[in-house]
Amino acid sequence: MKLMKKMMMASAMIVAAPMALSTPAMADEFPLVAGEYTTMTGIFLEDAGWTSYANYLAGEWKKNQDFAKSKGWISDYKIYYVVDPRDGEPTMYLTQTFASWPSGAEMEKRSKEWEAFDKRTNAQLDAESGNRAKFRRVTGSMTLQEATVR
C-alpha cells in the first residue's frame, strides 16, 4: 500500500510539474519526458554470505529475471556492488527496469504464468527466502522513473 501511495504521488508530480514550472519560455512543452521505471532493492550481506548469495544470484535469481525479460515484463535487470558504502548502507543493489505498472488483471495472469514456469509452491518459495536470511538482509527498496530531456 505504501508503494502504491508513492507511485500515485510520483505520477501526480509528473503531471503537475509542467504546470508548476511553466514560464513564458516553457509555455509550449515541458522539457522532460517520463520514461521507464527502475526498482532498486538494497541488500546487506553478512561477512560470510558473499559466495552463497552470489551463487543464488547467478542461478535462481538470474533464471527468474531472464524469464520475466522473455515475457516482456521487464526490459533489463542488473546487480550493483556498493564500492564504498557508508556505515549502515546496503552492500549491493538489485535492479529491474520496466515500462509500466501492470493492472490487477495482468498481475493475476503473470502470477499464473510464473507458477507454471517455476513449479514451486508459495510455501517452498517462503522457505527458500528464509534460508537466504542467514546471509543477507533486504534493507529496503525504491522505484525511480527515468526522465529524458526533449
Return the pLDDT at 46.
Answer: 84
Task: Report yes or no on whether pTM surpasses 0.95.
Answer: no
Return the pLDDT at 5.
Answer: 47
Q: Map out the domains of the chain as residue ranges.
A: 1-30, 35-149
Return the pLDDT at 125.
Answer: 73
Nearest to 90 by CA among 40, 146, 145: 40
What CATH number matches the domain at 35-149, 3.30.70.100, 3.40.50.10320, 3.90.1150.10, 3.40.640.10?
Answer: 3.30.70.100
Return the pLDDT at 1.
Answer: 43
> In three state form, how does the secondary structure of the chain look?
CHHHHHHHHHHHHHHHHHHHCCCHHHCCCCCEEEEEEEEEEEEEECHHHHHHHHHHHHHHHHHHHHHHHHCCCCCEEEEEECCCCCCCCCCEEEEEEECCCCCHHHHHHHHHHHHHHHCCCHHHHHHHHHHHCCCEEEEEEEEEEEEEEC
> Can you read off the three cell numbers belonging to residue 68?
520475466
**Residue ranges in the chain whose pLDDT is less than 70:** 1-27, 130-131
Return the pLDDT at 57.
Answer: 95
